[in-house]
Amino acid sequence: MSDHLYAYGVVEDADFELDIDGVAGATQAYTVSHGPLAAVVTDIDTLDPELTDENARAHDDVLQDVLLDAGGRTVVPMQFGSVFKNARTLKNVLRGGRRAFTKSLREIEGLAEFGVKLVVDEDATVDADEIREAAGERFAAASVQEEENDRFSDRLVMNRSYLVDRDERAAFDEAVDAVTDDYGDVLTVQYTGPWPPYNFVDIEIGTQQ
Amino acid sequence: MFIIDDLLLRPIVAVGNVIHSMAVEELYDVEAIRDEIKENRLLFEIGDRSEEEYERRREELRTQLDVAREARETLTNKVEVKQ
């Protein structure tokens, strides 16, 4: 029985459906509204979905679709595994977090997150600090905000998320191209996005599911 | 006699525990395995590692992770593992 709701993120009040593969085999995403907000959800039959590669990707995919839907929506992403017992409990959360959600939506309006990883070639020796500084300067000039992420590998010279104005996307693309031109012979640039601003939204709402 | 024996033994037991803890820490470092899983994925994504190699390594690391988790759970009940 799939009477629980898996929530992906929160948007300004809207009513839409998306045919998409969601977490735990769901095939259609829809909205649950409360006041000025709506949550994007799919049905789910467990309160505790497994964090598999497939489910994590599905979570991202749905959010990306929302992000690109209707010419670009602003969405406050929820973390993986946000399951609500039913629509009532979800609406309670929307009500309880109304101020925080509204504030976040306003802050990230028109912005999207991009990820940049600089991965040094296996045999290359580089001055990591110098690269970080030079590349960081270029990226910072074309973005609104940045966030340092964990460098989980010795080969990762840089792992950052950038908040970029969607209208300034071209400038950020150019910055990435420039860094690729400068250092392409010793490293690989992994450039991903647009993502919902996972790394720039931090809302904690105490609730009972 | 019993007291003296106990005192003599104590430091040795303590050292034994520390060594044991360090071994557990090193062998079953869940975070390090997680990092390796991420690295494996990254290297595959940027085309530095073949799909075959990626899949093989992924399975290996997953098994390691399961073993490490289980071992930590069992061992932390017996010896104190420094976090």
Q: Are A30 and A44 in contact (CB under 8 A)?
A: no
For chain A, positions 114-153, list CB contacts with chain B under 8 A: 117, 119, 122, 152-153
For the stretch A112-153, pLDDT in tens is: 999 999 999 998 999 999 999 999 999 999 999 999 999 999
* Residue type for position A6: Y
d(CA B58, CA B50) in angstroms, rounded, equals: 12
Classify burial at A70, counting beta carbons within 10 Å of its beta carbon; exposed 0-12, middle 13-18, buried 19 or more.
exposed
B46 phi and psi angles, rounded to 5 deg? -90, 5
Query: B11: how many CB neighbours lie within 10 A of its CB?
Result: 9
Question: Which residues in chain A are contacts of B47 at CB distance < 8 A?
Answer: 188
Question: Which residues in chain A are contacts of B39 at CB distance < 8 A?
Answer: 152-153, 155
For the stretch A39-49, pLDDT in tens is: 999 999 999 99
Q: How many CB pairs under 8 A join A and B?
A: 24
Strand partners, A42: A6
Buried b (16+ CB within 10 A) or exposed e, A91-116: bebbeebeebbbebbebbeebbbbbb
From B46's Cα to the closest Cα of chain A, the distance in A is 7
Name residues whose C-beta falls within 8 Å of residue B56's C-beta, 6 or more positions apart in sequence.
Answer: none
Partner residue facing A152 (CB), from B38, B45, B46:
B38
Q: Is A28 on the interface with B (CB under 8 A)?
A: no
d(CA A63, CA A57) in angstroms, rounded, equals: 10
Residue of A nearest to B40 (CA): A153
User: Within chain B, which residues score under 50 in pLDDT?
Assistant: 1, 81-83
User: Within chain A, which residues score under 70 in pLDDT?
Assistant: 1-2, 206-209
Average pLDDT, chain A: 92
What is the domain class of A111-198 according to CATH?
A: alpha beta
- Per domain, the residue ranges of chain A are 4-109, 111-198
A12 phi and psi angles, rounded to 5 deg? -65, 145
d(CA A98, CA A115) in angstroms, rounded, equals: 28
Classify burial at A5, counting beta carbons within 10 Å of its beta carbon; exposed 0-12, middle 13-18, buried 19 or more.
buried
For chain B, positions 64-83, list CB contacts with chain A under 8 A: none
For chain B, positions 22-41, list CB contacts with chain A under 8 A: 34-35, 38-39
pLDDT value at position B23? 64
pLDDT value at position A207? 52
pLDDT value at position A208? 46
From A9's Cα to the closest Cα of chain B, the distance in A is 25
